[in-house]
Structure 1
Amino acid sequence: MSNDWRHETIEKVRALILAAEPDMVEETKWRKASNPDGVPTFSCDGLVCTVETYKDKVKLTFAKGASLDDPSGLFNASLDAGTRRAIDLHESDSLDDDAFVELVRSAVEHNRS
């Protein structure tokens, strides 16, 4: 992937995810011909979230997002899914860093409970 806004967005959220939880494990899964870079996944006592790149957005999917409180309203995609919830970030979007870190921490706590 070229060094465009999506790459910068991914690097930013990656840093926030890893800062939110010192025990977070980052892996790349699901490599295939159409996506040779694969999908970054972040786990801590279970899957926390995945980060996917699309032409027009970066999608942050929380595996158990439907079970998490989202007081800042970060989730804006997969809202009808039974278990998952996602945050779609487009080029002009800004992310509330503090609220995102709290959401990641909440996901880890949910995995540990």
Structure 2
Amino acid sequence: MSDWREDSLAWVRKLTMEALPGVSETRKWAKAGRPDGVPVWEQGGILFTGETYKNKVKLTFAKGASLADPGKLFNASLDAGTRRAIDIREGETLDASAFKALVQMAAKANEKS
């Protein structure tokens, strides 16, 4: 895939590495419909995943429900018990500073558990 979704993931990757220089990115859950798997960013556990769909990129934070969200980035899975997600649609961008702060909070949450 080489379109806006891949560009969005590349931008998320860049911001994540700026926020947490030691973060690791792996691919998990490969299957027929997703032979390359899903990108997963980890530091002390899973921080978030980045799934691509036809009309969005979904960033799902594993412990999102326990994170403060002063930038109001979470806009999906708001009723989930543990997770929260950010859906990015074509033409949308995230506030870079707020996203980096959210990634750093997720890493701190992993340290505590």
Identity of counterpart residues, as a percentage? 56
Number of aligned residues:
112
Q: Which runs of 5+ in 1 are unaligned?
A: none
Matched ranges for 1:1-113 at <5 A = 1=1, 3-113=2-112
Q: Distance in 2 between matches of 1:53 and 1:97?
A: 20
RMSD: 0.7
Q: Distance in 1 between matches of 2:51 and 2:31?
A: 13
Q: Distance in 2 between matches of 1:37 and 1:88?
A: 21
Report deviation, 1:46.
0.8
Q: Secondary structure at the match of 2:65?
A: helix
Report deviation, 1:92.
2.1
Q: Which runs of 5+ in 2 are unaligned?
A: none
Give the TM-score normalised by the residue count of structure 1.
Answer: 0.96
Counterpart amino acid of 2:46? L
Counterpart amino acid of 2:31? K
Counterpart amino acid of 2:73? L
Q: Distance in 2 between matches of 1:109 and 1:12?
A: 22
Alpha-carbon deviations, 1:23-48, whole Å to 9, x = none? 21110001111111210001101110
Q: Secondary structure at the match of 2:71?
A: coil
Report deviation, 1:53.
0.3
Alpha-carbon deviations, 1:5-58, whole Å to 9, x = none? 101001000111121112211100011111112100011011100000000000
Structure 1 segments, 4+ long, off by >2 Å, are none
